[in-house]
Structure 1
Amino acid sequence: MKIKLAYFVCVLTVLSTPEVYADDSKRAWSIQLENDVFSQFFGLRKSDSEASDFDGDKDYTQGVRLGLTIRDRTDLPFHSLLKDLHMIGEADDDSNRKVHVTYQAFLGQNIYTPTDITKSHLLVNDRPYAGYLYFGSNITRQKGRHLESLELDVGVIGPLSGAKQVQTTWHTLIDTREPEGWDNQLSNEPALTVIYTRAVNMPLLAKKSGEIGVGMDITPHGTLALGTVYTHVSVGGTLRIGTGLEREMMSPNRIQPSQPGSDIFSGKGMDFYTFIGIEGRAVARNAFLDGNVFSESHRIDKKRFVGEFSIGFVGFTESWRLSYTHVFRSREFVNQRKGDFFGSVSLTKLF
């Protein structure tokens, strides 16, 4: 064990900037919660900003995802094959680096509504009511500062997603207006999306291994999504400033569609960093605007190009990570009055 640990330390000190990967933990549980109500908490949206009876639910109104992440488990299927595959665009100076393979499984639900949820009739100039319940699996390969991931999401869109029940129950509990238009939601149909991402981490303010202080880096990325739920191409990047940047390669994961992130980290002690991110998407399909694939349904004319800006912070202890991200998304469809603003909270526990 001591020999293996000594070898690991040697690998970490090859570069003047530390290699980014979760070395001292193999598993993590995580939860992400996204909701547009955070915009009201921060004063970014007033309750009467769009309609006299507007109560905060509109567009992408809520998302939740629970995940389990496992790293470098050699007994898992295809581990040997995956760690030996060539990485596209791999830099020559990373040729002797160890490849780290991360597996993730998660369960999630997204909820989408038009602006005015008090109307029971179909709002033809607004987006459809829609729910999405899905199971996903992600495999990420990291070598040095290069990363690529492949994600497969399968699930159901429509009443079987349980979105109506979740939103109605929650509104009853908090004693606010009940949504009246769920009879107009998209029909039941299977959902499938494959998502491929590449990213490279580039230090801007380098620290020597073991040095304590503030660092800065930028991570450009590119993503291709194909499926019945999302089909798009996106490019963007994330700038991070703070301490403990080497504990993970990117800021924490968010719910798709989003900029890429991580769900496992390394290191000890307490650290904190802030970040900003941008992404542009060329959209061919968004099921929550384009409607059902296999049946007639309400749909709305979407924007072909969508931009996204995010800002947030990440705090670490030895085994916990808490982050908050606020997302500003440009208009996604023609009749949308304003862009979409929502917050994302992520909590991760290492084991």
Structure 2
Amino acid sequence: MISRYKFTLLMFLVCTLLPTSLQAEVVNLSWDNDLLTGTDRGYTNGVRLAYLTDTAEETDGKSARFARILRDELSFLSGIGASDSKHAVTLSLRQLMVTPEDITVAEPQFNDIPYAGHLSLSGTLWSWCADTMTGFGAHIGVFGPESGAESVQKWVHKATGSDKPQGWGNQLGTDVVGGIQAAHGRKLLQTGQSDNIEQRVSVIGSGLLSSFRTSAKTGLIWQLGRHLPMNFAPDYAGTSSTIALPGSFTESGSSWSVFIGFGVEYVGYSYIDDNADSYRFDEGPLIGQLGLGATWQWNHLQASVTLRASTSEDERHKDNFSFGTLSLSWKL
């Protein structure tokens, strides 16, 4: 069992580091920013580039063969390897940054959250059918100047004429972090016809065991639209960074949907909280989440916008927290 786990983890990391060797079926670019909801504090910005391979059930293609290898190696896991399911691998590169509310102050603001930048690579094997979706993955990343968060924020603020952030000299790091993740979703109800208006209710849960963040989430999602895709549990409740990719395109060539999701997260460990030291940041164990938005597909392109809000992550600062996500996917 140990040797199989090591082999699988190695395959994840190798193919994440060398994504250009794969012929990805879907490419996705997502951008998170709290300015989309009118704030500039806490989780300030995040960018994610993700690839979804061909399905393991395809007859040819390098990425299909890679997906088959992982499907067969991980078939001992619950939900993986079923004959009526499709399997594919998501590879993603993600950068995020956290800043205090006032970025014009150079000195540490111990009454607020510290500066933090994070860059990570991850790989997830997904298995899905009409009624369920399951994923298992691994990730590795770095905190600190090596994340590039300082350079990116300064460049963006210069390009947009915004205030120059002054406090990055106090950011957390340098540290290497990593871990494993899992997610499972299930459709509860679907009504209507695909060529007319449909609605669907689904539930999803996920877990993250990592030196970056250890948490468990669950959420309930309601969707309304025309030609709803097979993917019934996208990232509307903040349950997974790349769950929106598998089965997200419909065969009809065009579709639209609106959605709302409710979720709750239990946080057992947070790197930022654990390393905040003299800062007055103290992350609470329970966080409520709300997400709403819309998705539109035209042929091989899909765009979505999601607005998210949550209860405060800081037990000392009870202000609610919010940000928006813009996402564009291209099916090759």
Say whether 1:127 aligns with 2:137.
no
Deviation readout 1:134-180 (Å, 9 max, x if unpaired): 11111111134111101212110011111111111211222221111
Distance 1:121 1:336 in 2: 20
Say whether 1:278 aligns with 2:265.
no
Partner of residue 198, structure 1? 184
Distance 2:77 2:85 in 1: 10
CA contact (8 A) 1:251 1:314 kept: no
The Cα of 1:261 is off from its aligned counterpart by 3.0
> How many percent of aligned residue pairs carry the same amino acid?
22
Distance 2:161 2:294 in 1: 32
Distance 2:89 2:201 in 1: 24
Partner of residue 314, structure 1? 295
The Cα of 1:105 is off from its aligned counterpart by 0.7
Distance 1:284 1:291 in 2: 14
Partner of residue 87, structure 1? 78
CA contact (8 A) 1:148 1:196 kept: yes
Task: Give the count of matched residue pairs.
Answer: 301
- Alignment counterpart, residue 29 of structure 1, candidates 27, 39, 57: 27
- Alignment counterpart, residue 217 of structure 2, candidates 234, 243, 248: 234
Kindly provide the amino acid, as one letter, of the partner of residue 205 in structure 1: T
The Cα of 1:337 is off from its aligned counterpart by 4.5
The Cα of 1:297 is off from its aligned counterpart by 7.5
CA contact (8 A) 1:259 1:279 kept: no
Distance 1:238 1:274 in 2: 11
Distance 2:183 2:133 in 1: 8
Partner of residue 331, structure 1? 312
Distance 1:194 1:84 in 2: 17
Distance 2:299 2:223 in 1: 20
CA contact (8 A) 2:49 2:92 kept: yes
Deviation readout 1:256-297 (Å, 9 max, x if unpaired): 7669433542312321110001110111112233327xxx77
The Cα of 1:244 is off from its aligned counterpart by 1.5
CA contact (8 A) 2:203 2:233 kept: no
Partner of residue 18, structure 2? none
3-state SS in 2 of match to 1:246: coil
CA contact (8 A) 2:51 2:92 kept: yes
Seen in structure 2, the aligned counterparts of structure 1 residues 273 and 171 have a Cα distance that, compared at 3 Å, is same
Q: Which has the higher contact order (CA 8 A, sep 6+)?
A: 1
Gaps of at least 5 residues in structure 2 are: 1-22, 57-63
Distance 1:118 1:29 in 2: 36
Seen in structure 2, the aligned counterparts of structure 1 residues 162 and 80 have a Cα distance that, compared at 3 Å, is closer
CA contact (8 A) 2:87 2:128 kept: yes
- Alignment counterpart, residue 142 of structure 1, candidates 120, 128, 137: 128
Gaps of at least 5 residues in structure 1 are: 1-24, 41-55
Distance 2:242 2:27 in 1: 20
- Alignment counterpart, residue 201 of structure 2, candidates 218, 241, 251: 218
Partner of residue 325, structure 2? 344
Kindly provide the amino acid, as one letter, of the partner of residue 198 in structure 2: G
Say whether 1:304 aligns with 2:295.
no
Seen in structure 2, the aligned counterparts of structure 1 residues 96 and 58 have a Cα distance that, compared at 3 Å, is closer
The Cα of 1:199 is off from its aligned counterpart by 0.7
CA contact (8 A) 2:227 2:256 kept: yes
Say whether 1:103 aligns with 2:89.
yes
TM-score (norm 2): 0.83
Deviation readout 1:104-130 (Å, 9 max, x if unpaired): 111110010011111111111211100
3-state SS in 2 of match to 1:29: strand
3-state SS in 1 of match to 2:65: coil
The Cα of 1:31 is off from its aligned counterpart by 0.5
CA contact (8 A) 1:31 1:65 kept: yes
Seen in structure 2, the aligned counterparts of structure 1 residues 275 and 68 have a Cα distance that, compared at 3 Å, is same
The Cα of 1:191 is off from its aligned counterpart by 1.2
RMSD: 2.6
3-state SS in 2 of match to 1:149: strand
- Alignment counterpart, residue 244 of structure 1, candidates 202, 216, 227: 227
Partner of residue 51, structure 1? none
Which deviates the most, 304-313 or 135-144? 135-144
Partner of residue 185, structure 1? 171
